[in-house]
Structure 1
């Protein structure tokens, strides 16, 4: 479900297989949201209790991604009869990681199936933020993208920058890590209007920020 969702949103070409641990290494792709904000989506190994020993190394990368994420998308197969147990297993792992207070958006997948639709309605009461969708058909994708944008809104910065023309590395980084709305040359500086993550904004030289 997770890999199918990533493929649906970003055309990532990630292996989508209905098997446990089909994804062993995190795969990260860029997604442009409805408000033109750019974010990075990472597909990780599934969370279960008592991870097999030979997968511990693969799981380490997932732990790093979870702890660094601004928002967790908990992709739930709403068509599964034991869905409550699966949700509990994921929540237990997040607690073990110390990530239980991270913002979570529950994504109830497989609502193209009758059981999925019915259980999504019931399960929505358990989560503060949730979206029902079908990664297979694409139904609900716009609502998911909008929900992500809404939850990340406070984690972005809209900046007007005056950057020395010689700082080409930083200018390229702004283009790679954010959305540039306008730029023009002014003497020995480049004037840039851009939307970037709050974390990336903190790495910029404060002298460059005009507002």
Structure 2
């Protein structure tokens, strides 16, 4: 898996805020990110941001990106400074874009996944998006454990699985292609693990 890069996280949030007309609800932003990451994995075998996802009551939550969306003080000075160039918190649940999206941080395939995610799901609000995420295997494997427990770390390999019924065509990938992308993701993850252990 690609190591987490906070600059990409900020830019991804900025991208979706601009799509929404400049201001975006945090819950919706995190669910749009889930959709973009799910699609990117299934079509390129790569993550976009490389965040740690957790299954929570309202669906998948990218941990570090949640902190950035909220502008939490626990971020490093470097992260806070970069965020402040592009995003501003406007309320407990919302933030706005301050500057144009910088596409140089992303591959063409990543941008395509982000565009497709918004095209498919942009019409839904955050709670509707949460309900949509509850249809997918990476979340449903934990559904019986809520609300007794609050969160569970998700496995990116589960993003390659299909639900019993596929309600959205965006995730209709050819089975053979899907297996190829899954193998590619595993190989890339193993390579990055080796490189970062040296």
- Normalised by the length of structure 1, the TM-score is 0.26
Q: Comparing both structures, which one devotes a greater share of its residues to strand? A: 1
Q: Comparing both structures, which one devotes a greater share of its residues to helix? A: 2
Q: Computing the radius of gyration over CA atoms, which structure comes out larger, 1 or 2?
A: 1
Greater RCO structure (CA 8 Å; 6+ sep): 2
- Normalised by the length of structure 2, the TM-score is 0.27
